[in-house]
Amino acid sequence: MRALTEERGHLLTELADARIDPLSGLAVRRAFTRNATELLRATGHRYCLLLLDLDEFKPVNDQFGHAAGDAVLTEVGARITRWLGPTETAARSGGDEFVVMAAQDARLLARIRALREAIAEPVAYQDLHLTVGVTVGSAEVTDGLSKALGEADQAMYKAKGSGRRGRSAITPGHA
C-alpha cells in the first residue's frame, strides 16, 4: 500500500511539472488554455490576448550559449509573472514565444509598454548583461481563444514584417 501511495505522489508531481515550463516558471500552452478558459468563464472581464516574441534571442544563444539563453528565458518569465494581474494568466508557448491573457481596460496600452520596457532591461548572466527586445501582437478575445490567438499571431508577424521590432501591433479596438 505504501508503494502505491509513493507512486501516486510521484505521478502527481510529474503531472504538476508537465503543466509548468521549467525555465520560465510559466504555464505550458495546454495549461494556459485551461487557465484562460476558466478565467473567461469565471470573471466576466474583457480580455486581450498578447503574443510576445523575443527579438535578438537567437544571437544571445549563438554568441553566449544555451545557458545564457536559458537565463534570459528564466528572467523574462519572472518579469511577465510580476506584470500579471490577479485575473490574468501567461505561458511560454515554445522557444522564445510567450502568450498572455490580459484584462482589457483603459490601462492596458500603458501596461503593455511597461512590459516591453521590462523585458528590454538587461539580464545579468555571469559577467554579462544580455538584452533582448520583444514584439507584441494582440487581439481582443471575443469569439474564443483560438480565433484571438490567430488574430494576435497575424498582428505580431505584421509588426515584425514592417520592421517595428520591439513594438506592439495593436489593432484599433483591441486593447
Active site positions, annotated: 96
Instruction: Report, in this order, helix, strand and coil percent for the chain, each rounded to 5.
Output: 50, 25, 25
Can you list the alpha helix ranges (DSSP code H) found in 20-83? 29-43, 57-64, 66-83
Distance CA 89, CA 81 (A): 8
- The CA angle 22-117-141, to the nearest 5 degrees, is 70
Distance CA 169, CA 155 (A): 5
- The CA angle 105-107-109, to the nearest 5 degrees, is 100
For residue 105, what is its C-alpha cell? 481596460
Distance CA 142, CA 140 (A): 6
